[in-house]
Amino acid sequence: MSSSRPKTPAAFITSAVFSASEWPANHPLSISRHQNVMDVCRMLGWLHDDELAVCEPATEAVLTRLHEPGYVTALEVVSQIGKVTIAQREAFNFGTMENPVFTGLFDRAAATVSGSVLAAELSLEGRQVFHPAGGTHHGRPDRASGFCYFNDPAFAIQTLLDSGCAKVVYLDLDAHHGDGVESIFASNARVLCVSIHEEKRWPHTGQLADRAGGFARNLPVPKGFNDAELAFLMTEAVLPLIARFDPDAVVMTCGADALAGDPLSGMELGNEGLWSAIDSVREAVPVSVCLGGGGYNPWTVTRFWSGLWGRLAGYPPAPEQLPDDVQAYLSRLGCDLIDEDEVEPHWLNSFADPAQHGQAVRDAVRALVPAVLAG
């Protein structure tokens, strides 16, 4: 499929390690994500060499700005030798089923950080930027958490602050609460952290009353959260919060695990709803950075992130029926967490999820608005 080129190229952050490093076969992130998106976008004529922004692993000097030196050193060592001691596992929470150690892990994790730094720098040049391998929002300064070893969204935010942005909004649309980012910037008057996430879902933080020193707003939503409810919260809560804070820039973690069909979430969003939410924030804030995040269904992740890149880069929409080569590519994907009979037909032949008409906004969702706007 051919398409016209936007006049100003957007930036797609990439690195060889995002495709080369492999998670263990029994891990939810063992599916290919970054490479799938690149392949499909190239098939659609949506990704060109001048749009690629290549990042290398961040140096120790960069990493230790937000992470403890001992933790950084320990992760590099265990990544090289491929095993951990009991003391290291207990101290740093890696070498577990959740946060395994494998060859190339350190370079991959460090590249997510440099990718977010680069993404922030390019956004300040007026470019639309997507870093699909980013969004490791659970990482803590001194330990791994939730498949995240470093906290790359925090580095994007810090880069924007260091570059002269007076205030930055962090918007987390992942199904899981962005606890690591909120913790790092707790009580920081220059950063407002807003997170929409599924209630009663790991990491079991981000309660409605949690404000992290005053500069966080959390919207824990019930299972089955739908497009009408997302649109309602964006219009009635998120955009007003952003307008009131009046930021110079926004960093968004655009997790695909909030989509219907993801095995690690009970949310039921369609990708059109998420794309629209992201677009509304980009229109409201002059500088924006889009990161990846969670997402454990290869079909929904690939379609959502590919479509997001197409919108960021200004390409015409994909046809309602995808080209044969793209359909063939999607049909070859697989996932141990999803049975073959659970694969929806539209995951293989179209980008956009079917429109869901007649969705109701439940009272539990409506009640979030006055609570987060108060104070």
Residues in the chain: 375
Is the peptide bond preceding residue 203 cis, with omega within 30 degrees of 0? yes
Q: Distances from the Cα of 72 to the Cαs of 69, 101, 141, 145, 293, in angstroms? A: 5, 14, 9, 14, 21
Residue 152 C-beta-side C-alpha neighbours within 13 Å: 33
Residue type, 185: F
- Which are the contacts of 92, defined by CB distance < 8 A and separation ≥ 6? 71, 74, 75, 142, 143, 144
Is 138 among the residues known to form the active site? yes
Choose the catalytic residue: 131, 138, 176, 177.
Answer: 138
The secondary structure element, H or E, covering residue 168 is strand 168-172
Q: Distances from the Cα of 298 to the Cαs of 28, 73, 317, 333, in angstroms? A: 10, 33, 21, 7
Residues with a known catalytic role: 138
